[in-house]
């Protein structure tokens, strides 16, 4: 029995370290999509094996302090020319429909080419979000995982 308990604990620890983790949203930068206190299931494997797609919600290490994790949305991928005009997202000179409802601001961000090995991230609550507009492009090595589901609070359960 003791051996089984140790093996089970080891298996859970390995799954948490390399495959899946639970993250708690702290702050309001992803509202209305994610709220302070939401509990998330994070896939730690996909960013490494398959990469990320535009508008994936990801957990990343803060480029200024890697001991702190942020939750943001991937807005632009390597090779994209990203810009913000009057709060609207533009990729390669075209306004992009986002398919979700960010809280817009009227910020301007001059066109920037996202280099290989980097992504450009934004919070959904743009007026208060600390994101690539402030800390710059994010090396893909700082992506900790892709958010796959919200499991708490129960009335807001969702799959991403």
pLDDT tens, position by position, 123-134: 999 999 999 999
Domain ranges of the chain: 22-159
Please check the confidence at residue 50 and state whether its pLDDT lies above 80.
no
Distances (CA, A) of 71 to 6, 29, 91, 113, 122: 33, 8, 21, 22, 9
pLDDT-derived band at 32, boundaries 50, 70, 90: very high
List 29, 33, 129, 132, catalytic entry: 29
Structure tokens at 150: 């919200």
Selected residue with higher pLDDT from 106 and 55: 55
Catalytic residue at 33? Answer: no
CATH numeric code, 22-159: 2.10.109.10
List 23, 33, 46, 72, catalytic entry: 72
Catalytic residue at 72? Answer: yes
pLDDT digit string, tens, across residues 60-107: 999 999 999 999 999 999 999 999 998 899 999 999 998 888 888 888
Question: Residue 75's closest CA among 50, 105, 100?
Answer: 100
């Amino acid at each position: 029995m003791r051996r089984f308990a140790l093996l089970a604990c080891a298996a859970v620890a390995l799954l948490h370290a390399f495959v899946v983790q639970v993250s708690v949203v702290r702050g309001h930068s992803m509202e209305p999509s994610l709220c302070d206190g939401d509990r998330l299931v994070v896939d730690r494997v996909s960013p490494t094996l398959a990469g990320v797609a535009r508008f994936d919600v990801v957990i990343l290490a803060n480029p200024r302090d890697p001991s702190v994790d942020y939750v943001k949305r991937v807005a632009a991928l390597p090779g994209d020319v990203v810009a913000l005009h009057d709060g609207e997202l533009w990729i390669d000179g075209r306004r992009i429909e986002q398919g979700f409802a960010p809280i817009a601001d009227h910020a301007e961000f001059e066109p920037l080419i996202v280099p290989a090995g980097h992504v450009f991230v934004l919070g959904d609550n743009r007026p208060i979000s600390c994101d690539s507009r402030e800390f710059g492009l994010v090396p893909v090595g700082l992506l900790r995982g892709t958010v796959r589901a919200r499991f708490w609070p129960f009335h807001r359960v969702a799959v991403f």
